[in-house]
Amino acid sequence: MLMLENSLLELITMTSTSLPPDVRAVMAHALRDETPNTQASQALNIIATNIDMAQDDEGPICQDTGMPTFIVHTPVDVNQMVIKQAIRAMVAEATKRGKLRPNSVDSITGKNSGNNLGPGTPVIHFEQWEEDEIEVKLILKGGGCENKNIQYSLPMELEHLGKAGRDLAGVKKCILHAVWQAQGHGCAPGALGVCIGSDRAHGYDLAKMELFRTLDDVNPDPVLAKLEAEIMAEANTLGVGPMGFGGQASLIGCKITAANRLPASFFVSVAYDCWAFRRLGVRLDPSSGAITKWLYRDPERPVQRMTQGEGFPLTGREVTLTPPLTEAQMRSLKVGDVVILNGEMFTGRDNVHAYLMKHEPPVSLQGAALYHCGPVMLKQEDGTWVTKAAGPTTSSREEPYQAEVIKRYGVRVVIGKGGMGKKTSAALKEFGAVYLNAIGGAAQYYARSVEKVLGVSLMEFGIPEAMWHLQVHDFVAIVTMDAHGNSLHADVERETGANLEALQEA
């Protein structure tokens, strides 16, 4: 392997597995400040444990390693095609090594390329500059938070906030609305990159570029610096909290830029990133391809550990469940209960749910636990599989199917993140089932609870979308929707909406 390729592989591996120091610092702060013994603090404890595990094992922090997006600056005489080739080769290599999940799906056929290469993936932006070295920055931003990106076209009416006009007050309403609408779906606490102005396409681009700023920097523009500070203060009074469970930490960063716009347009584009805010960079020697310097991290300084070693504190009040599960067991659970699952569970996300609408399941789902998860799996030489990363995916995507799956096949436990809607809630109540919120992004934490991969069905959908049969031990999750019609998600959405309104009146 060439030195350049080596350097790029190291960049990809470190970005996927080691959270940058600025993100660690704010997450440590969030952990310290959260009210103890709340669902929010439980979520942050698991997140912190997960961050340490990913660092120790060099495993992906989150199983969704996102759209690999590279920003490359080169001196004028450097051949950019060589760099592009090396990036593509090392993205494929990192995927083969389980550092990236195969995430590149043909939008027409639905086929996963299996190596993260395909039309439009990875994303590589090149720019020339006056410096002597090459700079490569990388961000891995997953689908859950990507789906919570939002663009506003001012003037407009916003839920809970009223009219947002073409001025800074209107812009501020949009940004606060962006935090509120994400709830737990984008694995809060999140970070925002914002662009005021530009056109639709470039506005989103510039918003995402703001995520390359460190979380602790101060905007050189005093007007934007003030706006960033105000958003940070006010968004963290909304009460969305980690995973949307309610709590103190809703936002860990807000970085805003402004670009000129057309007279007829006024867009506010928001790129929402999750707590698993993975971005790093390197400077490279153009002649050798060797790393001369890391950006965002100092390899000489010890990595700040997030936990004191105790991990998720168990209280003894947890409810242990082993599928197949009964209706009576489900009806005895209530929102807020912490559940420990042992035994077999099945993964299933978008393709599996669509499949189940037209076909019988490949295994019996009577009394089963169905996990919304697209894991990173590696096949061993002996043909067996190991789970490299296995956190939950956003459940709301399965809302059109879930009630029917519960009704038809007798699923008792649905596990995911971000909660589900009214149809699912009604089905949980009618048929006696519960929704468990696992902690989004805690891919290493949950991978460790997988004792064995018992099998796999529907592999034609690709690794993340297949139905994996997992034997788990001590799989911890929280009941956030119970069999009595209660939903923590609905409660938090209502309360935070009221808080948003109160902010406007203050």
Cα distances (Å, whole numbers) of residue 151 to 4, 147, 331: 37, 11, 41
The CA-based diameter of the chain, rounded to the nearest angstrom, is 71
Q: Which is nearer to ligand SF4, 143 or 324 (CB)?
A: 143
For position 274 contacting ligand SF4 by CB under 6 A, the verdict is yes
For position 43 contacting ligand SF4 by CB under 6 A, the verdict is no
Which residue number is nearest to ligand SF4 in terms of Cβ? 142
Q: Using the rule CB under 6 A, which residue among 184, 193, 289, 440 binds ligand SF4?
A: 440
Q: Which is nearer to ligand SF4, 321 or 439 (CB)?
A: 439
Q: Which is nearer to ligand SF4, 19 or 365 (CB)?
A: 19
For position 434 contacting ligand SF4 by CB under 6 A, the verdict is no
Q: Which is nearer to ligand SF4, 186 or 203 (CB)?
A: 186
For position 142 contacting ligand SF4 by CB under 6 A, the verdict is yes
Q: Using the rule CB under 6 A, which residue among 46, 270, 276, 428 binds ligand SF4?
A: 276
> HEC states along 3-58?
HHHHHHHHHHHHHHHCCCHHHHHHHHHHHHHCCCCCHHHHHHHHHHHHHHHHHHHC
Work out how close the CB of 404 gets to ligand SF4 at its nearest, in angstroms, rounded to a whole number: 25
For position 98 contacting ligand SF4 by CB under 6 A, the verdict is no
For position 348 contacting ligand SF4 by CB under 6 A, the verdict is no
Question: What is the C-alpha separation between 278 and 68, in angstroms, rounded?
Answer: 10
> Token pair for residue 479?
């009941």
**# residues near ligand SF4 by CB under 6 A:** 14
H helix or E strand, kind and range, residue 166: none
Say which residues have a Cβ less than 8 Å from residue 228's Cβ, sequence separation at least 6: 219, 254, 255, 256
Q: DSSP characters for 71-109?
A: EEEE-TTS-HHHHHHHHHHHHHHHHHTTSS----B-TTT
How many helical (H) and strand (E) elements, i.e. helices and strands, does the chain have?
A: 14, 20
User: Which range of residues in 34-42, 137-145, 151-159, 345-353 is near ligand SF4 by CB under 6 A?
Assistant: 137-145
- Which SS3 state, helix, strand or coil, does residue 152 take? strand
> Token pair for residue 403?
């009630």
Q: Which is nearer to ligand SF4, 139 or 365 (CB)?
A: 139
Work out how close the CB of 148 gets to ligand SF4 at its nearest, in angstroms, rounded to a whole number: 8
Beta-bridge partner residues of 151: 269
Q: Which is nearer to ligand SF4, 98 or 391 (CB)?
A: 391
For position 441 contacting ligand SF4 by CB under 6 A, the verdict is yes
For position 241 contacting ligand SF4 by CB under 6 A, the verdict is no
Q: Which is nearer to ligand SF4, 291 or 436 (CB)?
A: 436
CA-only gyration radius of the chain, Å: 22
Work out how close the CB of 62 gets to ligand SF4 at its nearest, in angstroms, rounded to a whole number: 3
User: Which range of residues in 127-135, 139-147, 152-160, 163-171 is near ligand SF4 by CB under 6 A?
Assistant: 139-147
Question: What is the C-alpha separation between 398 and 300, in angstroms, rounded?
Answer: 45
List interacting residues with ligand SF4 (CB under 6 A). Answer: 62, 64, 66, 142-145, 186-187, 274, 276, 391, 440-441
